[in-house]
Chains A and B, each alone.
Chain A
Amino acid sequence: MEYIIIVISAIFVNNIVLSKFLGICPFIGVSARIETSIGMSGAVMFVMTIATLVTYLIQTYLLDKLGIGFMQTITFILVIAFLVQLVEIILKKVSPSLYQALGIFLPLITTNCAVLGVALMSVQNNFNLMESVVFAIANSIGFGLALIIFAGLREHLELADVPEPFRGVPIAFVVAGLLAMAFMGFAGIV
């Protein structure tokens, strides 16, 4: 039951992009087409889950044990940067087709604040190992959902006659605001 609450809350109620404002850069940057946004969501899901798992282990067995919690930010960002590189190398070797699909998005993920944010949040919420992993997967699904819906909206937006100063990014923000408003309808489920 607890897991279901974590999942529903992370995907709909406290959606990572639309209500926590993490990962806005890829949300605006790679949402022009549905295919690229699916690729990005896949890559984020992959890295976010592994990163949260590894940072959880580091936090519990290294930082807490040694009492060096102040090293958290530095350690986590290095671990994430390292993991992204590792995932890239392994994918290239093991599954070239998946690498082809996710390849260009992987380096971008290092500076995706959603990954670091989810790792930090699961430490702050005192989740155990299983909860952290579920939290990471749910958040990455929430990210993917928001990104893909938004990409669909933007594809349609291309056909619309938008006033000149609004063209491009500004109208995307206004649409994102409306989408966030729609997601607010989920508030109160959990």
Chain B
Amino acid sequence: MNQIKNFTKGFIKENPVFVLFLGLCPVLGVTTSAINGIGMGLATTFVLVMSNFVVSLIKNFVPDKVRIPSFIVIIASFVTIVELTMQAYLPSLFEALGLFIPLIVVNCVVLGRAEAFASKNNIFSSIIDGLGIGLGFTFALFLLGSVREILGSGSIFNFKFIEGDGILIFILSPGAFIALGYLIVLVNKLKKKGA
């Protein structure tokens, strides 16, 4: 029961994007379509799960003072793995996400979970935590990506349902800020109703 709660907290209650406002750069940068959002989210989830796993594995051997630098090295290694794998097998997605793949290193969500959760908990719950937060992050990216794709280009998963262009501003940068702002409002409203 506890593990289930641990897993589901990332979706709404501790959603890194809508509630904690962490790791917002890729959230705004790559969500021009739903599929980009999912790709970025899954890449981040992989890094989160693996880094949480390794951090909780070594937590008893690393001296407290060099904790943060060693976390960063672990995270950077997994980011490099993702980067090279994606470049080899998914070149078009790699092209679309561009700079934001190496920038997973400085995504505060990843370092935040390593420091706040994995360095204090056992291996199994750290993996579950990474999976939950990562999928919550993916969910947020997917939501914002779909909103922007539906409004901006009138399609979903590259399946077009209107003729011509949509409201172009939502594909451009201002639309990212405005769409995210309104999604947060919606989440706030829902949270208030639930409470």
Contact = CB atoms under 8 A, between A and B. Distances in A.
Nearest to B21: A169
Given A24-B24, A111-B111, A73 B181 contact: no
Contact of B102 (A19, A73, A177): A73
B102 A120 contact: yes
B106 A21 contact: no
Interface in A76-103: 77-78, 81
Interface residues of A, number: 40
A22 interface: yes
B171 interface: no
Majority secondary structure, A binding face: helix
Contacts of B77: 74
Interface string B66-87: 0001001100110110011000
A170 B76 CA distance: 31
Interface string A17-37: 011111111001000000000
A180 interface: yes
Nearest to A176: B177
B29 interface: yes
Interface of A: 18-25, 28, 70-74, 77-78, 81, 110-113, 116-117, 120-121, 124, 165-166, 169-174, 176-178, 180-181, 184
Interface of B: 21-22, 24-29, 69, 72-73, 76-77, 79-80, 83-84, 99, 102-103, 105-108, 111, 169, 172-178, 180-182, 184-185, 188-189, 192
